[in-house]
Each structure stands twice: as C-alpha cells, then as structure tokens.
Chains A and B, each alone.
Chain A
Amino acid sequence: MTMNEDGHSPANGRRNPATDKGEELAEEGPSLDPRVQEQLGRVFRSFCDDLVHQPIPDKLAVLLARLEAKQRGKE
C-alpha cells in the first residue's frame, strides 16, 4: 500500500462515516481533484516501490553480522 485512490491506508479502512465525515471536513481541508489524486498516487507508488527495492549496501549487512557476533560472544 502506498496511497490508495482515496489516499487512505487500508489499516484505516474501518471507518465510521457518521462520525468521521465531520471531523474530516473540519481537519483535512480541501481535497485534491480526483484525477490529480489518481495521477499523484500512481507516481508516488512507483517512487516508493523503487525505493524499497534499492539494493542494501554491504556495510549494513556487515554491521548486523558484527552485532550478532558480539551478542553470541556475550552468551
């Protein structure tokens, strides 16, 4: 999940429209044109996907191995 069509995370999918609507209007301000939102969602999602799939530098794996070895030494 990045941004859905409506920009809400699935984790927040269980909403009570009766109580949420007023709060949303009061706090969320004007919403984007749905077409702009759709466009932004698409570009942003692909940005996030690319970022998450970047290769992890070796030094981070090495650091983790070192932390683990130290832990084992203590035990």
Chain B
Amino acid sequence: MSGDPFADMMVAEMPYLRAFALSLSGSTSVADDLVQETLVKAWTHAGSFEKGTNFRAWLVTILRNTYFNQYRKLSREVQDSDHVHAGQIAVGGEQESSASMRDMQRAINLLPPDQREILLMIGVTELSYEEAAQICNIAVGTVKSRLNRARARLAELLGLTGDGPAGADRAIEDRKTLRQS
C-alpha cells in the first residue's frame, strides 16, 4: 500500500487493534484515542519489535498497557455517559444483530477488567493462551481460569440457558415482538 513494510503491517493489524480497543474500553472515542496512541508508540519504538515474533501481540501489548495506565478510569466515565459504542456500530442494517451486539458489549463492560482483557485477547485479537499469559505476566493456567470465569459470567448476564438450540434466537424474537407492539 505504502511501500513501507512496517506501515503495511500496521495497516493490516488495524482492524484487530481497533476491535480490541472498542470492546476493551466500551467507548468509540476512547478506542480511537487508544489506537492513535498505540500507533504513535509502535512507530516510535519500532526498533524494539523482535522480528519473527507475533506483531499483533506486540501491538496488543502496547495498547493494553496504555489502556490500563491512562484510559481505564476515563473510559468508565465515558461508558456511563454515552451508553457504549455498540449502539452506534453499523451492523449491515440488521437490527437484531445490532441489538445482540449491544447486549454483548454491555455484558463485557460488566466483567472485571482482568477477565475482560483475557476474553478479548483470545476472542477478538485471536492471540494464543501463551501470548495472553505473557502479555499479562500471568501463568497459562490463570489465563484459562479467567477465560472460564468470563464465559460463565457472560452466559449468566446474557441469560443463556442452553435451552434448545435457539435460546439466543428466541431472545431476538422476543425483541422483535417488543418492537412491533
């Protein structure tokens, strides 16, 4: 795209980085600030990236540390006031999809930060357990237990019962009914 390999790598990782920032902070404005700051830091410290290691994991490390050092308090305030970015996300015009995204983001916002970051590193940025463990400086077993606790809490918050294959779809049906009435 630009000829600069480092810039091209950053462009390629941008969707993952921004998705991670959005879901971690729960706020569009905080997410964009976070990504901007991460890009600048990554560019400035390009020399500290070890070739042959996972570039995305390196960027996620920068973003995650920036978030916990500077933005966490701010993004909680923003979350409270702007009711979470998910409401503004464009989802192909499908209202059901948009509604379930909003519910999921709300539930994620309620997770303790240590569980939330693990869930999103594995789910959104697709890092391995080992990479997540290294970034958070914890054991792989701790990654697994945080992930399991996050999943249990999410299922509870979303009211998933596993009751029939279509529990989530039924929830969507309920919403449609609500809108029509």
Contact = CB atoms under 8 A, between A and B. Distances in A.
B89 A54 contact: yes
Interface residues of A, number: 48
A60 B32 contact: yes
Interface residues of B, number: 54
Interface of B: 2, 4, 7, 10-11, 14-16, 18-19, 22-23, 32, 35-36, 39-40, 43, 89-91, 97, 100-101, 104-105, 122-124, 126-131, 141-142, 144-145, 147-149, 151-152, 154-155, 158, 160-163, 165, 167-168
Given A28-B144, A64-B7, A39 B168 contact: yes
Contact of A29 (B22, B104, B145): B145
Interface in A13-32: 23-24, 27-32
SS class, residues of chain A in contact with chain B: helix
B7 A67 contact: yes
Interface of A: 1-3, 7-9, 11-12, 23-24, 27-40, 42-48, 50-57, 59-61, 63-65, 67-68, 71
A27 B145 contact: yes
B18 to A, nearest CB: 6
A49 to B, nearest CB: 9
B7 A7 contact: no
